[in-house]
């Protein structure tokens, strides 16, 4: 008896264990509560791959019992996460989409819903459903508003910043998906839907192109958008041409010079066909293409383009367009540089501020406040009602509103040193407000431009219009991509346009170094004097105004000699940036 008891005990235990296992196996296959319990326990112990089958079984049984959609929405979200771990991405996306369409989802906290929508977007990317993913992240991008323009968004506790963070984090997933996606995934389907997706890809590509870690995501999105627009709208359509202003510089950063050349050449010929071979609007694309030729060592072709542009300017603006030295503009600070190398005194304030609204400029804030004011900066010997900064800005906005169909308004004009100090302290290191003393807003000559209620973006049609036409109204882009004129990681501001006067803006487009406005303004007397003598930079040769030890003096005794007091600082600025950029 003593020997049989352990054997009987072991046998009984084994029988009970088998019976329990059989019962448990039957229960989890037939009882929805048991299957759900098993799914939850496996998820809690970090075994989502094993949990997935139990979750699917629990869901199927609840559906068989006609469980209300809201009652199983949470299960679908958790099961979606489990299926993601098993790489069943299509199933994961289907589950999460169903859950998010329920009443339960609409009752969620805003951040939790955004998190689930982000998870859905990633499931779409992983399942190669690029169009659906693009739709989600493009809506995030639009809801991010101004936060999408900020360099540092990690520490900001707002929903807008959270949207921008989610878009930023999705970039790596887009890179992987677009590397393996077929190049023709947007060639089938409804034309309007394909164009809508291309527009969304252009917006997202513009966002990623402004970030160091987003270059490849931007290239994939923008190139697909470009090819789609070209196929559906044609190469001459302005929406197609617009993308060259984002994709071209991006390819250049990536070292894809031949692709850059192809884009700029197509854009140049497109604008030539649309606007005419004698239009000064071609100057932007001539300058872009000539710069690429210089990088390729094709100096003869680059010089031929420069000569073509000068002929256009002579025809449009006259042979003696730079004969008069605008010394008055220099003394009045209209064309002086402003940056961390060229600071303004805290006491500096213009004395000719006027309300922008008086010149029919749409304003985003109450017209009476200082921020909605600009300098008059009227030309001498001309009608002050027409030849001034606000009148010209109004004309530029009217033109671009007509061309783009977008809502354009003045976001910010004049800001005093004290106001700039307060706004900068409040803004912190987000990258959209310049430190006091370094801001062109203090001069009253700068205009931040809103498009559709938020900062102008390079993917906006308005940006293309400003890039092409602003110089004709006396405005230049102060902080182009890749500049380091201001403190911080990146001071690219596609919304910030500075008035320098019509003649100076013309000279910058025609003879100035591309995308180096501060260097140009610092050495402006040199450019003015050489241009007045019809001496322009030659392709492939060093720009004497940037490297010469001294500026050439005026050729006649009657002309007052220009003030060269800032030349040493100009050379410091130019030398500091030589390693980052080469003169064009």
In a domain, 395, yes or no: yes
Tokens 């009882």, residue located = 31
What's the pLDDT at 561? Answer: 39
CA–chain centroid gap for 13, Å, is 69
Boundary-marking domain end, from 107, 122, 146: 107
Domain end marker among 107, 139, 168:
107
Q: Is residue 50 part of a domain?
A: yes
Q: From the centroid of its chain, how far is CA 361? A: 25
Please identify, among 499, 527, 559, the residue that sits at the C-terminal boundary of a domain: 499
Note whether residue 147 is domain-resident.
no
Question: Which residues neighbour 72 within 8 Å (Cβ) at sequence distance 6 or greater?
Answer: 59, 62, 63
Tell me, yes or no, whether 345 lies in a domain: yes
Closest C-alpha to 427, from 164, 231, 150, 214: 150
Residue 533's CB: how many other CB atoms inside 10 A?
12
What per-residue confidence (pLDDT) applies to 383? Answer: 83
CATH of the domain at 359: 3.30.1380.10
Residue 572 within a domain = no
Residues 6+ apart with CB under 8 A from 140: 114, 117, 118, 121, 163, 164, 166, 167
Domain of residue 38: give its range: 15-107
Give the residues across from 477 on adjacent strands.
497
Q: Are 334 and 407 in contact (CB under 8 A)?
A: no
* 415: CB partners within 8 A, 6+ apart: 370, 371, 423, 439, 441, 442
What's the start-to-end Cα distance of the chain, in Å? Answer: 103
pLDDT of residue 496: 96
Residue numbers annotated as active site: 493
Report mean pLDDT in 10-residue bins for the chain, 584 residues.
56 51 47 82 88 89 86 92 93 96 94 96 94 96 91 73 94 83 67 95 95 91 95 96 96 96 97 93 96 96 96 92 76 89 92 96 96 94 87 98 97 94 75 80 97 95 97 96 80 94 96 94 93 92 78 35 47 48 39
pLDDT at 4 (0 to 100): 55
Residue 127: its pLDDT value, please?
A: 92
In a domain, 138, yes or no: no
Domain count, the chain: 2
Tell me, what's the pLDDT at 24? Answer: 43
């Amino acid at each position: 008896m003593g020997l049989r008891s352990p054997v009987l005990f072991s046998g009984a235990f084994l029988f009970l264990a088998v019976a329990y296992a059989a019962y448990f196996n039957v229960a989890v296959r037939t009882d929805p509560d048991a299957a759900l319990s098993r799914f939850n326990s496996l998820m809690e112990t970090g075994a989502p791959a094993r949990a997935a089958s139990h979750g699917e079984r629990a869901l199927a049984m609840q559906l068989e019992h006609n469980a209300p959609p809201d009652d199983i929405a949470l299960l679908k979200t958790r099961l979606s996460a489990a299926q993601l771990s098993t790489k069943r991405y299509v199933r994961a996306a289907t589950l999460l989409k169903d859950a998010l369409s329920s009443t339960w989802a609409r009752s969620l906290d805003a951040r939790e819903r955004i998190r689930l929508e982000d998870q859905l977007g990633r499931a779409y990317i992983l399942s190669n459903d690029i169009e659906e993913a693009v739709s989600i992240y493009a809506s995030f991008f639009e809801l991010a508003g101004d936060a999408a323009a900020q360099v540092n968004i990690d520490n900001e506790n707002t929903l807008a910043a959270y949207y921008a963070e989610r878009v930023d984090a999705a970039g790596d997933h887009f890179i992987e998906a677009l590397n393996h996606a077929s190049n023709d995934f947007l060639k089938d389907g409804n034309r309007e839907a394909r164009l809508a997706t291309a527009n969304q890809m252009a917006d997202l590509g513009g966002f990623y192109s402004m970030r160091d870690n987003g270059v490849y995501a931007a290239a994939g999105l923008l190139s697909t958008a470009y090819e789609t627009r070209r196929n559906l709208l044609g190469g001459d359509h302005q929406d197609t041409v617009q993308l060259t202003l984002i994709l071209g510089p991006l390819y250049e950063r990536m070292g894809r010079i031949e692709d850059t050349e192809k884009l700029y050449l197509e854009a140049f010929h497109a604008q030539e066909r649309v606007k005419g071979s004698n239009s000064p609007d071609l100057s932007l694309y001539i300058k872009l293409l000539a710069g690429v030729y210089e990088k390729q060592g094709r100096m003869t072709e680059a010089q031929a383009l420069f000569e073509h542009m000068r002929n256009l300017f002579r025809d449009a603006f006259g042979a003696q367009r730079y004969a008069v030295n605008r010394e008055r503009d220099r003394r009045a600070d209209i064309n002086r540089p402003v940056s961390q190398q060229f600071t303004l005194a805290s006491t500096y304030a213009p004395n000719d501020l006027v309300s922008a609204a008086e010149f029919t400029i749409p304003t985003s804030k109450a017209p009476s406040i200082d921020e909605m004011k600009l300098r008059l900066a009227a030309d001498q010997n001309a009608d002050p009602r027409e030849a001034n900064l606000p009148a010209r800005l109004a004309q530029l906005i009217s033109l671009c509103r007509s061309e783009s169909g977008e809502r354009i308004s003045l976001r910010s004009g004049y800001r005093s040193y004290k106001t700039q100090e307060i706004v900068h302290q409040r803004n912190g290191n987000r990258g959209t407000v310049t430190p006091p003393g370094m801001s062109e807003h203090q001069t009253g000559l700068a205009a931040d431009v809103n498009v559709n209620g938020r900062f102008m973006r390079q993917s906006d049609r308005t940006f293309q219009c400003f890039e092409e036409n602003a110089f004709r109204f006396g405005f230049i882009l102060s902080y182009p991509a890749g500049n380091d004129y201001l403190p911080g990681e990146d001071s690219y501001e596609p919304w910030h346009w500075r008035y320098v006067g019509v003649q100076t803006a013309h000279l910058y487009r025609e003879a100035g170094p591309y995308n180096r406005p501060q260097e140009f303004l610092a050495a402006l007397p040199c450019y003015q004097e050489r241009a007045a003598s019809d001496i322009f930079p030659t392709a492939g040769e060093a720009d004497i105004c940037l490297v010469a030890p001294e500026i050439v003096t005026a050729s006649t005794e009657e002309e007052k000699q220009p003030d060269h007091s800032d030349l040493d600082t100009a050379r410091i600025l130019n030398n500091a940036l030589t390693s980052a950029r080469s003169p064009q």
